[in-house]
Amino acid sequence: AQKVTQAQTEISVVEKEDVTLDCVYETRDTTYYLFWYKQPPSGELVFLIRRNSFDEQNEISGRYSWNFQKSTSSFNFTITASQVVDSAVYFCALSVNRDDKIIFGKGTRLHILP
């Protein structure tokens, strides 16, 4: 069975600080995809990134970076120089290649304080 754990329920940091959101996943499949989504107060989930299980290269997109480590089954997300607009709930998710489903974690609510 697949599972995604986001142990941090809620995080508050002051603007301009860096913050890392943790994600640990479980699957016995060798081919799988990992995702991060952002849910701002408006409600929609915004797709941020998808990585497949064969690509462990870290990725950077502006102030966002992702650290994928198969050895620890983790796919952590770091926001550098955080801004108030980064305040949202962030979901990590997992999908296996043979399935249509995306298994979401419970989310981490991030507060960026001015």
Q: How far is the CB of 47 from another protein (least distance, A)?
A: 6
Q: Both tokens of residue 52?
A: 């497949």
CB nearer to another protein: give 105 or 110.
105
Pick from 14, 16, 26, 46 the residue near another protein by CB under 8 A: 46
Residue 11 interacting with another protein (CB under 8 A): no
Positive or negative, the Cα torsion across 38, 67, 106, 50?
positive
Rounded-to-10 torsion of CA 9, 71, 98, 52: 80
Alpha-carbon span 44 to 13, nearest angstrom: 23
Q: Both tokens of residue 30?
A: 């060798």
Residue 64 interacting with another protein (CB under 8 A): no
Q: How far is the CB of 102 from another protein (least distance, A)?
A: 6
Residue 7 interacting with another protein (CB under 8 A): no
Residue 50 interacting with another protein (CB under 8 A): yes
Contact yes or no for 48/88 (Cβ under 8 A): no
Residue 91 interacting with another protein (CB under 8 A): yes
Alpha-carbon span 6 to 91, nearest angstrom: 8
Residues in contact with another protein by the rule CB under 8 A: 33, 35, 37, 42-47, 50, 91, 95, 100-107
